[in-house]
Structure 1
Amino acid sequence: MNGIIPLYKPRGMTSADCVYQLRKLLHEKKIGHTGTLDPEVDGVLTICVGQATKLVNWLLDSDKVYQGQVVLGKATSTEDATGEIIDQKEILTPFTIEQVEAAMLSLTGSIQQTPPMYSAVKVNGKRLYEYARAGQIVQRPSRQVTIKKFQMRGVPHFDEHQHLQMLDFTVVCSKGTYIRTLAVQLGESLNVPAYMSRLTRTAGSSFTLDQTVSFDQISAKLQQNEFDFCLPLEAAFSSQIPRCTLTDEQWQQVQNGSKITLAASSKQVLLTFNGIAKALYQKQADFYVPQIMLLKNDR
Protein backbone atom coordinates (compact mmCIF):
# COMPACT_ATOMS: atom_id res chain seq x y z
CA MET A 1 0.00 0.00 0.00
CA ASN A 2 1.31 3.44 -0.97
CA GLY A 3 -0.48 6.60 0.06
CA ILE A 4 -1.49 9.20 2.61
CA ILE A 5 -3.91 8.72 5.50
CA PRO A 6 -5.20 11.91 7.14
CA LEU A 7 -5.78 10.27 10.52
CA TYR A 8 -7.84 11.68 13.37
CA LYS A 9 -5.63 11.16 16.42
CA PRO A 10 -7.76 10.79 19.55
CA ARG A 11 -6.74 12.07 22.96
CA GLY A 12 -4.94 9.53 25.12
CA MET A 13 -2.73 8.10 22.36
CA THR A 14 0.79 9.07 21.41
CA SER A 15 1.68 9.60 17.76
CA ALA A 16 3.85 6.47 17.99
CA ASP A 17 0.83 4.54 19.32
CA CYS A 18 -1.09 5.57 16.20
CA VAL A 19 1.66 4.33 13.90
CA TYR A 20 1.84 1.01 15.81
CA GLN A 21 -1.94 0.56 15.60
CA LEU A 22 -1.94 1.23 11.84
CA ARG A 23 0.90 -1.24 11.28
CA LYS A 24 -1.27 -3.93 12.88
CA LEU A 25 -4.39 -2.94 10.94
CA LEU A 26 -2.73 -2.59 7.54
CA HIS A 27 -0.04 -5.27 7.94
CA GLU A 28 2.40 -2.68 6.65
CA LYS A 29 5.73 -1.94 8.34
CA LYS A 30 6.65 1.13 6.31
CA ILE A 31 4.55 3.80 8.05
CA GLY A 32 5.51 7.22 9.41
CA HIS A 33 3.77 10.33 10.72
CA THR A 34 4.44 13.95 9.85
CA GLY A 35 4.51 15.82 13.14
CA THR A 36 4.20 14.59 16.73
CA LEU A 37 1.12 15.43 18.76
CA ASP A 38 1.18 15.21 22.56
CA PRO A 39 -0.98 12.40 24.00
CA GLU A 40 -3.70 14.78 25.23
CA VAL A 41 -3.88 16.68 21.92
CA ASP A 42 -6.30 15.42 19.29
CA GLY A 43 -6.74 16.24 15.63
CA VAL A 44 -4.99 15.90 12.28
CA LEU A 45 -2.07 13.46 12.17
CA THR A 46 -0.98 12.86 8.60
CA ILE A 47 0.27 9.31 8.05
CA CYS A 48 2.52 8.22 5.18
CA VAL A 49 2.31 4.60 4.06
CA GLY A 50 4.75 2.66 1.86
CA GLN A 51 6.47 4.80 -0.76
CA ALA A 52 4.73 7.86 0.68
CA THR A 53 7.19 7.76 3.61
CA LYS A 54 9.54 9.59 1.24
CA LEU A 55 7.28 12.60 1.80
CA VAL A 56 7.59 12.69 5.59
CA ASN A 57 10.27 15.41 5.67
CA TRP A 58 8.45 17.38 2.99
CA LEU A 59 5.21 17.34 4.96
CA LEU A 60 6.97 18.06 8.26
CA ASP A 61 7.93 21.46 6.90
CA SER A 62 4.32 22.51 6.32
CA ASP A 63 2.51 24.95 8.62
CA LYS A 64 0.13 23.63 11.25
CA VAL A 65 -3.18 25.09 12.51
CA TYR A 66 -4.44 24.65 16.06
CA GLN A 67 -7.44 25.64 18.17
CA GLY A 68 -7.22 25.54 21.93
CA GLN A 69 -7.68 27.30 25.23
CA VAL A 70 -5.28 29.04 27.60
CA VAL A 71 -5.99 29.58 31.30
CA LEU A 72 -4.60 32.79 32.79
CA GLY A 73 -3.88 32.85 36.52
CA LYS A 74 -2.24 29.44 37.02
CA ALA A 75 0.86 27.64 35.74
CA THR A 76 1.57 23.90 35.70
CA SER A 77 4.73 21.79 35.65
CA THR A 78 3.95 20.49 32.14
CA GLU A 79 2.53 23.76 30.75
CA ASP A 80 -0.76 21.94 30.09
CA ALA A 81 -3.66 20.53 32.11
CA THR A 82 -1.86 17.26 32.93
CA GLY A 83 0.71 18.81 35.26
CA GLU A 84 0.76 19.96 38.87
CA ILE A 85 0.07 23.58 39.71
CA ILE A 86 3.38 25.32 40.36
CA ASP A 87 2.30 28.97 40.40
CA GLN A 88 -0.88 31.00 40.65
CA LYS A 89 -1.96 34.60 40.79
CA GLU A 90 -5.52 35.77 41.29
CA ILE A 91 -6.91 37.86 38.48
CA LEU A 92 -9.16 40.42 40.13
CA THR A 93 -9.87 42.47 37.04
CA PRO A 94 -10.15 40.50 33.78
CA PHE A 95 -7.95 41.51 30.89
CA THR A 96 -9.68 43.43 28.14
CA ILE A 97 -9.90 42.14 24.59
CA GLU A 98 -7.53 44.91 23.56
CA GLN A 99 -4.93 43.88 26.14
CA VAL A 100 -5.07 40.22 25.07
CA GLU A 101 -4.95 41.06 21.37
CA ALA A 102 -1.90 43.27 21.92
CA ALA A 103 -0.14 40.46 23.82
CA MET A 104 -0.96 37.95 21.08
CA LEU A 105 0.29 40.34 18.42
CA SER A 106 3.60 40.67 20.28
CA LEU A 107 4.00 36.90 19.91
CA THR A 108 3.36 36.91 16.17
CA GLY A 109 6.22 36.54 13.68
CA SER A 110 9.60 34.98 14.46
CA ILE A 111 9.93 34.27 18.18
CA GLN A 112 12.23 32.28 20.46
CA GLN A 113 10.91 29.32 22.44
CA THR A 114 12.45 27.06 25.06
CA PRO A 115 10.91 23.56 24.86
CA PRO A 116 9.06 22.37 27.99
CA MET A 117 10.86 20.00 30.34
CA TYR A 118 8.06 17.51 29.72
CA SER A 119 8.78 17.12 26.00
CA ALA A 120 10.50 14.66 23.68
CA VAL A 121 13.35 16.99 22.74
CA LYS A 122 16.71 15.25 23.20
CA VAL A 123 19.57 16.77 25.22
CA ASN A 124 22.78 14.73 25.50
CA GLY A 125 21.01 11.67 24.14
CA LYS A 126 18.11 11.73 26.62
CA ARG A 127 14.56 13.05 26.27
CA LEU A 128 13.76 16.11 28.35
CA TYR A 129 10.84 14.31 29.99
CA GLU A 130 13.30 11.68 31.27
CA TYR A 131 15.25 14.40 33.07
CA ALA A 132 12.00 15.90 34.37
CA ARG A 133 10.74 12.59 35.76
CA ALA A 134 14.09 12.06 37.48
CA GLY A 135 13.88 15.53 39.02
CA GLN A 136 17.00 16.66 37.17
CA ILE A 137 17.57 20.15 35.81
CA VAL A 138 19.19 20.47 32.41
CA GLN A 139 19.83 23.42 30.15
CA ARG A 140 17.33 23.43 27.31
CA PRO A 141 18.26 24.74 23.87
CA SER A 142 16.02 27.52 22.59
CA ARG A 143 14.70 27.51 19.04
CA GLN A 144 13.26 30.04 16.63
CA VAL A 145 9.75 29.40 15.36
CA THR A 146 7.31 31.39 13.27
CA ILE A 147 3.83 32.29 14.49
CA LYS A 148 1.83 33.39 11.46
CA LYS A 149 -1.42 33.89 13.34
CA PHE A 150 -2.32 34.02 17.03
CA GLN A 151 -5.85 35.24 17.60
CA MET A 152 -8.72 34.89 20.03
CA ARG A 153 -11.83 32.93 19.19
CA GLY A 154 -15.00 34.36 20.67
CA VAL A 155 -15.15 36.28 23.92
CA PRO A 156 -12.85 35.55 26.93
CA HIS A 157 -14.49 33.91 29.93
CA PHE A 158 -13.80 35.18 33.45
CA ASP A 159 -14.28 32.85 36.42
CA GLU A 160 -14.98 35.24 39.27
CA HIS A 161 -14.89 32.47 41.88
CA GLN A 162 -11.46 31.08 40.98
CA HIS A 163 -10.19 34.44 39.67
CA LEU A 164 -9.07 32.86 36.40
CA GLN A 165 -9.57 33.94 32.81
CA MET A 166 -9.97 31.51 29.91
CA LEU A 167 -9.23 32.41 26.31
CA ASP A 168 -10.01 30.33 23.23
CA PHE A 169 -7.52 30.82 20.43
CA THR A 170 -6.39 29.90 16.92
CA VAL A 171 -2.72 29.51 15.99
CA VAL A 172 -1.09 29.09 12.60
CA CYS A 173 2.58 28.23 13.07
CA SER A 174 5.71 26.62 11.67
CA LYS A 175 7.00 23.17 12.56
CA GLY A 176 8.67 22.85 15.94
CA THR A 177 6.29 25.23 17.71
CA TYR A 178 5.17 24.27 21.22
CA ILE A 179 1.66 25.65 21.71
CA ARG A 180 1.93 24.89 25.43
CA THR A 181 4.92 27.18 25.60
CA LEU A 182 3.13 29.82 23.53
CA ALA A 183 0.34 29.80 26.15
CA VAL A 184 2.92 30.36 28.88
CA GLN A 185 4.52 33.16 26.86
CA LEU A 186 1.12 34.82 26.51
CA GLY A 187 0.79 34.79 30.28
CA GLU A 188 4.28 36.28 30.63
CA SER A 189 3.29 39.10 28.28
CA LEU A 190 0.32 39.82 30.55
CA ASN A 191 2.42 39.33 33.73
CA VAL A 192 0.43 36.34 35.01
CA PRO A 193 1.08 32.57 35.12
CA ALA A 194 -0.68 30.57 32.39
CA TYR A 195 -1.08 27.10 30.94
CA MET A 196 -2.75 25.47 27.95
CA SER A 197 -5.91 23.65 29.02
CA ARG A 198 -6.82 21.95 25.71
CA LEU A 199 -5.64 21.74 22.11
CA THR A 200 -6.74 20.35 18.76
CA ARG A 201 -4.75 20.36 15.54
CA THR A 202 -7.32 21.41 12.96
CA ALA A 203 -5.04 21.38 9.90
CA GLY A 204 -1.62 20.15 8.84
CA SER A 205 0.19 18.82 5.78
CA SER A 206 -2.56 20.12 3.44
CA PHE A 207 -5.33 18.28 5.33
CA THR A 208 -8.08 19.62 7.58
CA LEU A 209 -9.98 18.06 10.47
CA ASP A 210 -13.06 17.31 8.35
CA GLN A 211 -10.89 15.24 5.96
CA THR A 212 -9.59 12.91 8.66
CA VAL A 213 -10.60 9.30 9.23
CA SER A 214 -10.75 7.53 12.59
CA PHE A 215 -9.41 4.11 13.53
CA ASP A 216 -13.00 2.80 13.66
CA GLN A 217 -13.65 4.07 10.13
CA ILE A 218 -10.45 2.49 8.85
CA SER A 219 -11.33 -0.84 10.50
CA ALA A 220 -14.82 -0.77 8.97
CA LYS A 221 -13.38 -0.02 5.51
CA LEU A 222 -10.90 -2.88 5.77
CA GLN A 223 -13.68 -5.30 6.71
CA GLN A 224 -15.43 -4.29 3.49
CA ASN A 225 -12.15 -4.66 1.55
CA GLU A 226 -12.22 -0.92 0.79
CA PHE A 227 -9.07 1.20 0.80
CA ASP A 228 -10.26 4.67 -0.19
CA PHE A 229 -9.19 5.99 3.23
CA CYS A 230 -5.62 5.85 1.88
CA LEU A 231 -5.26 8.73 -0.54
CA PRO A 232 -2.91 8.80 -3.56
CA LEU A 233 0.51 10.39 -3.11
CA GLU A 234 -0.41 13.52 -5.05
CA ALA A 235 -2.95 14.37 -2.33
CA ALA A 236 0.01 15.50 -0.21
CA PHE A 237 0.81 18.32 -2.62
CA SER A 238 -0.91 21.67 -2.72
CA SER A 239 -3.02 22.44 -5.79
CA GLN A 240 -0.74 25.45 -6.23
CA ILE A 241 2.02 23.10 -7.42
CA PRO A 242 1.48 22.59 -11.18
CA ARG A 243 1.07 19.07 -12.55
CA CYS A 244 2.84 17.90 -15.69
CA THR A 245 2.10 14.70 -17.62
CA LEU A 246 5.23 12.93 -18.82
CA THR A 247 5.77 11.44 -22.24
CA ASP A 248 7.19 7.91 -22.50
CA GLU A 249 10.61 9.37 -23.26
CA GLN A 250 10.49 11.80 -20.33
CA TRP A 251 9.36 9.01 -17.99
CA GLN A 252 12.46 7.02 -18.93
CA GLN A 253 14.60 10.06 -18.12
CA VAL A 254 12.87 10.55 -14.77
CA GLN A 255 13.36 6.89 -13.86
CA ASN A 256 17.08 7.43 -14.39
CA GLY A 257 17.03 10.54 -12.19
CA SER A 258 17.93 12.76 -15.13
CA LYS A 259 17.21 16.44 -15.51
CA ILE A 260 14.50 17.26 -18.04
CA THR A 261 13.20 20.21 -20.00
CA LEU A 262 9.57 21.19 -19.37
CA ALA A 263 7.27 23.83 -20.79
CA ALA A 264 6.78 25.28 -17.31
CA SER A 265 7.96 28.28 -15.31
CA SER A 266 7.06 27.41 -11.71
CA LYS A 267 9.69 26.69 -9.07
CA GLN A 268 8.37 23.15 -8.57
CA VAL A 269 6.29 20.75 -10.63
CA LEU A 270 4.64 17.42 -9.83
CA LEU A 271 5.30 14.90 -12.57
CA THR A 272 2.70 12.24 -13.42
CA PHE A 273 2.71 9.25 -15.74
CA ASN A 274 -0.36 7.14 -16.53
CA GLY A 275 -2.28 9.32 -14.10
CA ILE A 276 0.01 8.51 -11.14
CA ALA A 277 2.31 10.96 -9.36
CA LYS A 278 5.91 9.89 -9.89
CA ALA A 279 8.23 12.69 -8.78
CA LEU A 280 8.54 16.25 -7.59
CA TYR A 281 11.01 18.23 -9.68
CA GLN A 282 12.40 21.71 -9.03
CA LYS A 283 13.61 24.32 -11.49
CA GLN A 284 17.36 24.79 -11.84
CA ALA A 285 18.57 27.15 -14.57
CA ASP A 286 16.89 26.01 -17.82
CA PHE A 287 16.08 22.52 -16.56
CA TYR A 288 14.08 20.71 -13.94
CA VAL A 289 15.93 18.36 -11.59
CA PRO A 290 14.70 15.70 -9.10
CA GLN A 291 13.67 16.86 -5.63
CA ILE A 292 11.64 13.86 -4.43
CA MET A 293 11.31 10.58 -6.34
CA LEU A 294 7.99 8.99 -5.40
CA LEU A 295 7.57 5.88 -7.55
CA LYS A 296 10.03 4.34 -9.99
CA ASN A 297 7.51 1.98 -11.56
CA ASP A 298 3.95 2.12 -12.89
CA ARG A 299 2.23 1.14 -9.66
Structure 2
Amino acid sequence: MARLVLMGSPAFALPTFEALAEEHEIAAVFTQPDKPAGRGLRPTPSPVKRWAEARGYLIFQPRSLRRDPQAVAALQALRPNVIVVVAYGLILPHEVLETPPYGCLNLHASLLPRYRGPAPIQAALLNGDAETGVTVIQMTEEVDAGPILAMEREPIYPDDTAETLGERLARRGARLMRETLRRWLAGEIVPQPQDPSQATYCPRITKADGEIDWRRPAVEIDRRIRAFTPWPGGFTFWNGRLLKIGRARPRLDLQAPPGRVIAVDAGAAVGTGHGVLELLEVQLEGKRMLPIRAFLNGHPDFLGATLGREHPAGAHAP
Protein backbone atom coordinates (compact mmCIF):
# COMPACT_ATOMS: atom_id res chain seq x y z
CA MET A 1 0.00 0.00 0.00
CA ALA A 2 1.27 3.46 -0.95
CA ARG A 3 0.31 6.90 0.32
CA LEU A 4 -1.21 8.79 -2.62
CA VAL A 5 -2.31 12.29 -3.49
CA LEU A 6 -4.91 12.27 -6.26
CA MET A 7 -5.31 15.19 -8.66
CA GLY A 8 -8.24 15.41 -11.07
CA SER A 9 -11.46 17.22 -11.85
CA PRO A 10 -13.93 15.66 -14.36
CA ALA A 11 -15.84 12.39 -14.17
CA PHE A 12 -13.21 10.80 -16.43
CA ALA A 13 -10.92 10.57 -13.39
CA LEU A 14 -13.38 8.77 -11.12
CA PRO A 15 -12.89 5.13 -12.24
CA THR A 16 -9.14 5.48 -11.70
CA PHE A 17 -9.53 7.12 -8.31
CA GLU A 18 -12.06 4.49 -7.21
CA ALA A 19 -9.69 1.70 -8.22
CA LEU A 20 -6.71 3.24 -6.42
CA ALA A 21 -8.70 4.01 -3.26
CA GLU A 22 -9.42 0.28 -2.92
CA GLU A 23 -5.70 -0.53 -2.63
CA HIS A 24 -3.93 2.55 -1.30
CA GLU A 25 -4.08 5.26 1.35
CA ILE A 26 -5.44 8.52 -0.03
CA ALA A 27 -3.72 11.40 1.77
CA ALA A 28 -5.66 14.12 -0.07
CA VAL A 29 -7.46 15.04 -3.26
CA PHE A 30 -6.63 18.12 -5.34
CA THR A 31 -9.26 19.37 -7.76
CA GLN A 32 -10.25 22.54 -9.61
CA PRO A 33 -12.05 25.33 -7.70
CA ASP A 34 -15.85 25.32 -7.89
CA LYS A 35 -17.05 26.94 -11.10
CA PRO A 36 -20.24 28.91 -11.85
CA ALA A 37 -22.81 26.76 -13.65
CA GLY A 38 -26.51 26.72 -14.51
CA ARG A 39 -28.86 29.63 -14.96
CA GLY A 40 -28.05 31.01 -11.52
CA LEU A 41 -24.30 30.63 -12.08
CA ARG A 42 -23.96 29.04 -8.68
CA PRO A 43 -20.54 27.69 -7.68
CA THR A 44 -20.58 24.02 -8.66
CA PRO A 45 -18.06 21.44 -7.42
CA SER A 46 -16.23 19.17 -9.84
CA PRO A 47 -17.25 15.49 -10.01
CA VAL A 48 -13.97 14.63 -8.27
CA LYS A 49 -14.72 17.02 -5.40
CA ARG A 50 -18.18 15.48 -4.90
CA TRP A 51 -16.59 12.02 -4.90
CA ALA A 52 -13.94 13.06 -2.36
CA GLU A 53 -16.47 14.78 -0.09
CA ALA A 54 -18.65 11.66 -0.01
CA ARG A 55 -15.65 9.67 1.24
CA GLY A 56 -14.36 12.21 3.72
CA TYR A 57 -11.04 12.83 2.01
CA LEU A 58 -9.02 15.97 2.61
CA ILE A 59 -9.64 18.33 -0.34
CA PHE A 60 -7.54 21.15 -1.77
CA GLN A 61 -8.72 23.50 -4.54
CA PRO A 62 -5.89 25.91 -5.43
CA ARG A 63 -6.40 28.11 -8.46
CA SER A 64 -2.76 27.60 -9.37
CA LEU A 65 0.09 25.49 -8.05
CA ARG A 66 2.70 27.67 -9.71
CA ARG A 67 1.47 30.81 -7.95
CA ASP A 68 0.34 29.39 -4.61
CA PRO A 69 3.30 28.50 -2.39
CA GLN A 70 0.97 27.70 0.51
CA ALA A 71 -0.76 24.99 -1.52
CA VAL A 72 2.61 23.53 -2.52
CA ALA A 73 3.75 23.55 1.12
CA ALA A 74 0.54 21.82 2.20
CA LEU A 75 1.07 19.20 -0.50
CA GLN A 76 4.66 18.57 0.58
CA ALA A 77 3.55 18.23 4.21
CA LEU A 78 1.32 15.32 3.17
CA ARG A 79 4.47 13.32 2.25
CA PRO A 80 2.88 11.22 -0.52
CA ASN A 81 4.78 8.32 -2.07
CA VAL A 82 3.14 9.02 -5.44
CA ILE A 83 0.94 11.70 -6.97
CA VAL A 84 -1.57 10.38 -9.52
CA VAL A 85 -2.96 12.92 -11.99
CA VAL A 86 -5.99 12.38 -14.25
CA ALA A 87 -7.37 15.37 -16.19
CA TYR A 88 -6.57 17.82 -13.39
CA GLY A 89 -6.34 20.94 -15.53
CA LEU A 90 -3.48 22.67 -13.68
CA ILE A 91 0.25 22.69 -14.46
CA LEU A 92 2.46 21.00 -11.85
CA PRO A 93 5.60 23.03 -11.12
CA HIS A 94 9.04 21.54 -10.54
CA GLU A 95 8.76 21.55 -6.74
CA VAL A 96 5.55 19.48 -6.93
CA LEU A 97 6.95 17.03 -9.48
CA GLU A 98 9.94 16.45 -7.18
CA THR A 99 7.90 15.97 -4.00
CA PRO A 100 6.97 12.24 -4.06
CA PRO A 101 9.83 9.71 -4.11
CA TYR A 102 8.07 7.66 -6.81
CA GLY A 103 7.18 10.70 -8.88
CA CYS A 104 3.94 11.90 -10.42
CA LEU A 105 2.04 9.55 -12.73
CA ASN A 106 -0.43 10.82 -15.29
CA LEU A 107 -3.16 8.97 -17.20
CA HIS A 108 -3.64 10.50 -20.65
CA ALA A 109 -6.47 9.52 -23.03
CA SER A 110 -4.42 8.97 -26.18
CA LEU A 111 -1.60 6.88 -27.56
CA LEU A 112 1.19 9.30 -26.71
CA PRO A 113 3.00 11.09 -28.22
CA ARG A 114 -0.08 11.46 -30.44
CA TYR A 115 -2.55 14.09 -29.20
CA ARG A 116 -0.72 15.78 -26.40
CA GLY A 117 -2.95 18.47 -24.95
CA PRO A 118 -6.32 18.97 -23.24
CA ALA A 119 -8.77 17.32 -25.70
CA PRO A 120 -7.31 14.03 -26.98
CA ILE A 121 -10.62 12.15 -27.13
CA GLN A 122 -12.23 14.83 -29.29
CA ALA A 123 -9.12 15.00 -31.49
CA ALA A 124 -9.23 11.28 -32.25
CA LEU A 125 -12.89 11.54 -33.29
CA LEU A 126 -12.39 14.71 -35.31
CA ASN A 127 -9.62 13.06 -37.31
CA GLY A 128 -11.59 9.88 -37.98
CA ASP A 129 -9.07 7.61 -36.26
CA ALA A 130 -9.82 3.89 -36.16
CA GLU A 131 -8.33 3.52 -32.69
CA THR A 132 -7.01 5.47 -29.74
CA GLY A 133 -6.06 4.41 -26.23
CA VAL A 134 -4.70 5.37 -22.82
CA THR A 135 -1.14 6.00 -21.72
CA VAL A 136 0.43 6.22 -18.26
CA ILE A 137 3.47 8.48 -18.13
CA GLN A 138 5.88 9.73 -15.50
CA MET A 139 5.28 13.48 -15.51
CA THR A 140 7.92 16.06 -16.42
CA GLU A 141 7.78 19.83 -16.68
CA GLU A 142 6.88 19.58 -20.38
CA VAL A 143 3.17 18.78 -20.58
CA ASP A 144 2.32 15.20 -21.69
CA ALA A 145 5.95 14.60 -22.73
CA GLY A 146 7.20 12.37 -19.92
CA PRO A 147 8.47 8.81 -20.38
CA ILE A 148 5.86 6.13 -20.99
CA LEU A 149 5.23 3.49 -18.33
CA ALA A 150 2.31 1.65 -19.96
CA MET A 151 -0.14 1.92 -22.86
CA GLU A 152 -3.29 0.15 -24.06
CA ARG A 153 -5.27 0.55 -27.29
CA GLU A 154 -9.03 0.99 -27.71
CA PRO A 155 -11.01 0.77 -30.99
CA ILE A 156 -13.19 3.68 -32.07
CA TYR A 157 -16.63 2.63 -33.34
CA PRO A 158 -18.48 4.47 -36.15
CA ASP A 159 -21.17 5.77 -33.80
CA ASP A 160 -18.85 6.71 -30.93
CA THR A 161 -19.20 10.12 -29.32
CA ALA A 162 -16.77 11.80 -26.95
CA GLU A 163 -19.06 10.59 -24.18
CA THR A 164 -19.22 6.90 -25.13
CA LEU A 165 -15.55 6.70 -26.07
CA GLY A 166 -14.55 8.63 -22.95
CA GLU A 167 -16.45 6.21 -20.72
CA ARG A 168 -14.63 3.23 -22.21
CA LEU A 169 -11.26 4.93 -22.00
CA ALA A 170 -11.92 5.88 -18.37
CA ARG A 171 -12.60 2.25 -17.45
CA ARG A 172 -9.62 0.99 -19.42
CA GLY A 173 -7.41 3.68 -17.94
CA ALA A 174 -8.45 2.76 -14.40
CA ARG A 175 -7.37 -0.85 -14.92
CA LEU A 176 -4.15 0.22 -16.56
CA MET A 177 -3.22 2.74 -13.84
CA ARG A 178 -3.94 0.29 -11.03
CA GLU A 179 -1.72 -2.40 -12.55
CA THR A 180 0.97 0.07 -13.64
CA LEU A 181 1.21 1.61 -10.17
CA ARG A 182 1.67 -1.82 -8.61
CA ARG A 183 4.49 -2.64 -11.01
CA TRP A 184 6.04 0.84 -10.72
CA LEU A 185 6.23 0.61 -6.94
CA ALA A 186 7.78 -2.85 -7.27
CA GLY A 187 10.49 -1.54 -9.60
CA GLU A 188 9.32 -3.68 -12.51
CA ILE A 189 8.94 -0.91 -15.15
CA VAL A 190 11.65 0.77 -17.19
CA PRO A 191 10.31 4.12 -18.47
CA GLN A 192 10.40 4.48 -22.26
CA PRO A 193 11.07 7.98 -23.64
CA GLN A 194 8.60 9.44 -26.11
CA ASP A 195 9.71 10.23 -29.64
CA PRO A 196 9.17 14.00 -29.90
CA SER A 197 9.28 13.85 -33.70
CA GLN A 198 5.99 11.90 -33.60
CA ALA A 199 4.23 14.31 -31.24
CA THR A 200 0.96 15.96 -32.26
CA TYR A 201 -1.05 18.46 -30.25
CA CYS A 202 -4.74 19.17 -29.72
CA PRO A 203 -6.14 22.51 -28.50
CA ARG A 204 -8.73 23.09 -25.81
CA ILE A 205 -12.35 22.85 -27.02
CA THR A 206 -14.47 25.99 -26.83
CA LYS A 207 -18.23 26.45 -27.14
CA ALA A 208 -17.77 28.12 -30.52
CA ASP A 209 -16.22 24.92 -31.91
CA GLY A 210 -19.66 23.28 -31.89
CA GLU A 211 -21.18 25.60 -34.51
CA ILE A 212 -21.66 23.71 -37.78
CA ASP A 213 -20.26 25.07 -41.02
CA TRP A 214 -22.51 23.47 -43.63
CA ARG A 215 -19.89 24.09 -46.33
CA ARG A 216 -17.78 21.30 -44.83
CA PRO A 217 -18.27 17.70 -46.06
CA ALA A 218 -21.01 15.65 -44.40
CA VAL A 219 -18.50 13.10 -43.09
CA GLU A 220 -16.52 15.83 -41.36
CA ILE A 221 -19.63 17.43 -39.85
CA ASP A 222 -20.72 14.05 -38.49
CA ARG A 223 -17.33 13.63 -36.83
CA ARG A 224 -17.58 17.07 -35.27
CA ILE A 225 -21.05 16.39 -33.86
CA ARG A 226 -19.86 13.14 -32.30
CA ALA A 227 -16.62 14.70 -31.04
CA PHE A 228 -18.52 17.52 -29.36
CA THR A 229 -21.15 15.33 -27.68
CA PRO A 230 -22.04 16.01 -24.89
CA TRP A 231 -20.27 19.41 -24.86
CA PRO A 232 -20.50 21.84 -26.53
CA GLY A 233 -22.67 19.81 -28.90
CA GLY A 234 -23.04 20.28 -32.65
CA PHE A 235 -25.39 23.19 -33.29
CA THR A 236 -26.71 25.50 -35.98
CA PHE A 237 -29.47 28.13 -36.18
CA TRP A 238 -33.03 28.08 -37.51
CA ASN A 239 -35.45 31.00 -37.31
CA GLY A 240 -32.88 32.80 -35.19
CA ARG A 241 -32.95 30.03 -32.55
CA LEU A 242 -30.20 27.59 -31.69
CA LEU A 243 -30.80 24.10 -33.03
CA LYS A 244 -28.67 21.30 -31.60
CA ILE A 245 -28.03 18.18 -33.69
CA GLY A 246 -28.12 15.21 -31.31
CA ARG A 247 -27.52 12.40 -33.79
CA ALA A 248 -27.01 12.31 -37.53
CA ARG A 249 -25.38 10.29 -40.28
CA PRO A 250 -23.66 11.32 -43.50
CA ARG A 251 -25.11 10.30 -46.85
CA LEU A 252 -23.00 10.72 -49.94
CA ASP A 253 -25.68 9.50 -52.39
CA LEU A 254 -27.55 12.81 -52.17
CA GLN A 255 -26.62 16.45 -52.58
CA ALA A 256 -28.24 19.79 -51.70
CA PRO A 257 -26.98 23.36 -51.27
CA PRO A 258 -25.07 23.78 -47.99
CA GLY A 259 -27.49 24.37 -45.13
CA ARG A 260 -30.63 23.57 -47.17
CA VAL A 261 -33.07 21.18 -45.45
CA ILE A 262 -34.55 18.53 -47.73
CA ALA A 263 -36.98 15.65 -47.19
CA VAL A 264 -35.36 12.22 -46.97
CA ASP A 265 -37.21 8.96 -46.20
CA ALA A 266 -39.99 10.66 -44.18
CA GLY A 267 -37.28 12.55 -42.31
CA ALA A 268 -34.90 15.37 -43.14
CA ALA A 269 -31.34 15.95 -44.24
CA VAL A 270 -29.19 19.04 -44.63
CA GLY A 271 -27.03 19.87 -47.62
CA THR A 272 -23.27 20.12 -47.04
CA GLY A 273 -20.13 20.74 -49.06
CA HIS A 274 -20.15 17.07 -50.05
CA GLY A 275 -23.20 14.86 -49.55
CA VAL A 276 -25.98 15.53 -47.07
CA LEU A 277 -26.27 15.01 -43.34
CA GLU A 278 -29.36 13.00 -42.46
CA LEU A 279 -30.77 14.23 -39.16
CA LEU A 280 -31.83 11.63 -36.59
CA GLU A 281 -32.35 13.68 -33.42
CA VAL A 282 -32.58 17.46 -32.99
CA GLN A 283 -33.27 19.87 -30.15
CA LEU A 284 -34.63 23.36 -30.64
CA GLU A 285 -33.52 25.95 -28.11
CA GLY A 286 -35.67 25.74 -24.97
CA LYS A 287 -37.12 22.33 -25.95
CA ARG A 288 -36.15 18.69 -25.45
CA MET A 289 -34.29 16.45 -27.87
CA LEU A 290 -36.67 14.79 -30.35
CA PRO A 291 -36.45 12.17 -33.10
CA ILE A 292 -36.52 14.00 -36.41
CA ARG A 293 -39.97 12.69 -37.40
CA ALA A 294 -41.50 13.94 -34.16
CA PHE A 295 -39.78 17.29 -34.68
CA LEU A 296 -41.16 17.57 -38.23
CA ASN A 297 -44.69 16.84 -36.98
CA GLY A 298 -44.50 20.01 -34.90
CA HIS A 299 -42.44 22.04 -37.37
CA PRO A 300 -43.45 21.17 -40.95
CA ASP A 301 -41.94 24.47 -42.17
CA PHE A 302 -38.50 23.12 -41.28
CA LEU A 303 -38.35 21.38 -44.67
CA GLY A 304 -37.00 23.76 -47.27
CA ALA A 305 -35.37 26.08 -44.74
CA THR A 306 -31.73 27.12 -44.90
CA LEU A 307 -29.86 26.66 -41.64
CA GLY A 308 -27.08 28.78 -40.24
CA ARG A 309 -26.31 32.04 -38.52
CA GLU A 310 -26.49 33.90 -41.84
CA HIS A 311 -30.17 32.92 -42.18
CA PRO A 312 -31.73 34.26 -38.95
CA ALA A 313 -35.20 34.48 -40.42
CA GLY A 314 -35.26 30.84 -41.46
CA ALA A 315 -35.06 31.59 -45.18
CA HIS A 316 -36.71 29.05 -47.44
CA ALA A 317 -35.83 27.90 -50.87
CA PRO A 318 -37.81 29.63 -53.63
TM-score, normalization: structure 1?
A: 0.26
Kindly indicate which of the two structures has a greater share of residues assigned to strand: 1
Ranked by relative contact order (alpha carbons within 8 Å, sequence separation 6 or more), the top structure is 1
